[in-house]
Amino acid sequence: MANMQMNKTPMPEQEPNVRNANFQEVALGYTMEQAQNEAQRCLNCKNKPCVSGCPVGIPIPDFIAKVAEGDLAAAYQLLSDANALPAISGRVCPQETQCEGKCIRGIKGEPVSIGRIERFVADWAAANGIANVATAPKNGHKVAVIGSGPAGLTCAGELARMGYDVSVFEAFHTPGGVLSYGIPEFRLPKAIVKREVENLQKMGVDIELNMVIGKVLTITELFDMGYEAVFIGSGAGLPMFMKIPGESLVGVYSANEYLTRINLMKAYKPDAETPILHSKKVAVVGGGNVAMDAARCAKRLGADVHIVYRRSEAELPARAEEVHHAKEEGIVFDLLTNPVSIEGDEKGHVQSITCVKMELGEPDASGRRRPVVIEGSEFKMEVDAVIMALGTQANQMSYGDTPGLEKTRKGCVAADENGCTSCTGIFAGGDAATGAATVILAMGAGKSAAKSIDQYIKSKG
């Protein structure tokens, strides 16, 4: 008999006024009793609509049914067979617009909390020393993966399971891509990223750090070294700016720089080699998950933080949970507001930001109502730092010696939904191919590309 409780089983969390002063994980995780209670809300629908919303194809009702029964080992087996990084996707995947967005229970109540149950199962496995590192016998074929973000790690894990020798080439000194440099510790502890990477290494995946492909090695040289296919998952770390006056002042950051310095370089610590300024009042421009991450980091560094977003709350692209957490932590939302200039003091440091109020007009190409300036609404906000969180573009790589590799007008690698490119043996996915993707979409792209690589190499005989 299903549990017909209308609402999700609440997730234990740190108190807002405690967590907004530390970088420890906000959500504390389900207990066994809470996980089973939530799992029993699943109706185990025959047509499994939740699975159609999952980019990596997790058999959601099947693994949840095992949790409801108390068979966590079987639940983890089902989960990890489909998903190389369950502890990560259970934390940062936008379930509300994907699997949970299609859950039947969401029609007359809240959907089953699939992500929380996934996280619980993955954490239980780790606590009990269980890791799904089984692979097929080695098949004698080598594949190179460029980038160790979610797309690259997923592609590498899938190929390793199939018996391929896989080498991952990462430009940074730490693997994980956006999982390491972009998502803060309080949402995704780096120990978990490290653990998932180590599980891939146990499967035989070789990870080479400080390797800027296109500079240290070219794609052509990778083929010369015996790699039969190359997957490009180089990520999207190239920031965007508004091109307004004052963006070159000291104290204006891209969100990528700000988060990388905090997450990867620990620049918030007093003894950091390149410490970050502890600002008093910060304006974060943008309304996506990256904006929420940057704002919540600035809050933890002691600042009074304002989110400045040109549309209304209904159009905020960030996850509802992240917006909720940001509000709880004391972050102010200045909605229907848009910056037009940034002003500095005599030393070139940010002193204020001038904004205008907006109103929503007709929908634009994205389907969202277009913001229009209200004449005469200009006002000034005193701040000492501005963080631009306006989206990113694909990281640029040198493809000079790779003839025939096509790129889109945005500079991304041109690839189809299966990761196939115009060049024989080269595949791409995630941010390298789209310029922007969520973690789970990047993982889905990596999984699709792994299947395409397998088919390509098998077709060669």
**Structure confidence by residue, pLDDT tens digits, 226-237:** 999 999 998 877
Q: Which of 80-94, 167-181, 192-206, 425-439 has the lowest mean pLDDT?
A: 425-439
Q: What is the pLDDT of residue 405?
A: 78
Q: What is the pLDDT of residue 416?
A: 82
- Burial label for 327, CB within 10 Å (0-12, 13-18, 19+), is middle
d(CA 283, CA 285): 6
Confidence class of residue 435 from pLDDT cuts 50, 70 and 90? low
Q: What is the pLDDT of residue 2?
A: 78
- Phi first, then psi, for residue 355 (nearest 5°) are -125, 165
d(CA 436, CA 235): 8
pTM, 2 dp: 0.92
Q: How far is CA 92 from CA 87, 88, 335, in A?
A: 9, 6, 25
d(CA 22, CA 419): 40
- Burial label for 386, CB within 10 Å (0-12, 13-18, 19+), is buried
Confidence class of residue 111 from pLDDT cuts 50, 70 and 90? very high
